[in-house]
C-alpha cells in the first residue's frame, strides 16, 4: 500500500451522515513495521468520503502512506439511519516495503531470426517481470556485407505489458 490508498469501512446498513465526526475517525502512523508500537502514534490527514448508498465510508489519505510502516484505524460514534450503533473494531495494518524488483535480463538468450523474421527469446523464471509479453519490431538496420547498398532489418525484442 505504498501508493495513495483508500481505506474502506463497510457496513450492512447505511451510516447516518450526521454521525460522521472527523475527530472520532482516525488513521494513525504507529512507526516502522519492524518495531513494537508504543503510544498512540502520529495522526495521518485523511478525507472522509461516504458512498452514495451510505454503506461504505472511505478514509483517503491526503499523502502517500509510508512504506513498511504500521498504521491503526479507529472509528467511534458511528450509527445507522435508525440510531443503531455501528461498531468498528480497531484495525492495525502494515504497508509493504517499497523495494524495487531485480530482474536478470542478462540471462536472456535471443536466437537469430529465421527467414520469416521469427526469433526465440529464452530465459530462466524471474528473468522478466510476470505478465510481460515480448514482441518483435524492426528497430535497426544493418548493411549487408554482400552489397553496400542493401540493408537488412534486425529485429529487436521489446517488452510490453498486457
The rounded mean pLDDT for the chain is 80
Lowest mean pLDDT among 61-70, 128-137, 140-149: 140-149
> What pLDDT is attached to residue 141?
43
61 contacts 44 by C-beta, under 8 angstroms = yes
Looking at residue 142, what is its pLDDT?
43
Can you give the pLDDT at residue 119?
80
Question: Hey, what's the cell of 17?
Answer: 451522515
> Is residue 156 predicted with pLDDT exceeding 90?
no
CATH architecture of 7-94: Sandwich (2.60)
The confidence score (pLDDT) of residue 88 equals 94
Q: Where in the chain is the domain with CATH 2.60.40.1220?
A: 7-94
- Any idea how long the chain is? 162
pLDDT mean over 23-43? 92
Q: Kind of pairing, strands 7-10 and 46-50?
A: unpaired
76 has pLDDT over 90: yes
Model confidence at 161: pLDDT above 70: no
Residue 51: its pLDDT value, please?
A: 96
Q: What is the pLDDT of residues 87-137, one digit of tens each?
A: 999 999 999 887 777 777 788 888 888 888 888 878 787 776 676 666 655
The more confidently predicted of residues 124 and 31 is 31
Cell numbers placing 148: 553496400
Amino acid at each position: 500500500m505504498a501508493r495513495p490508498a483508500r481505506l474502506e469501512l463497510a457496513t450492512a446498513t447505511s451510516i447516518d451522515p450526521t454521525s460522521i465526526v472527523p475527530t472520532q475517525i482516525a488513521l494513525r502512523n504507529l512507526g516502522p513495521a519492524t518495531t513494537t508500537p508504543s503510544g498512540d502514534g502520529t495522526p495521518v490527514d485523511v478525507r472522509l468520503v461516504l458512498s452514495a448508498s451510505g454503506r461504505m465510508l472511505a478514509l483517503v489519505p491526503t499523502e502517500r502512506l509510508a512504506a513498511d510502516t504500521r498504521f491503526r484505524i479507529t472509528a467511534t460514534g458511528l450509527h445507522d439511519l435508525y440510531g443503531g450503533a455501528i461498531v468498528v473494531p480497531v484495525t492495525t495494518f502494515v504497508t509493504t516495503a517499497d523495494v524495487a524488483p531485480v530482474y536478470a535480463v542478462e540471462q536472456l538468450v535471443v536466437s537469430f531470426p529465421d527467414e520469416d523474421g521469427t526469433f526465440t527469446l529464452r530465459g530462466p523464471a524471474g528473468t522478466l517481470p510476470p505478465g510481460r509479453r515480448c514482441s518483435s519490431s524492426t528497430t535497426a538496420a544493418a548493411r549487408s556485407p554482400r552489397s553496400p547498398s542493401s540493408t537488412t532489418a534486425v529485429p529487436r525484442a521489446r517488452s510490453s505489458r498486457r
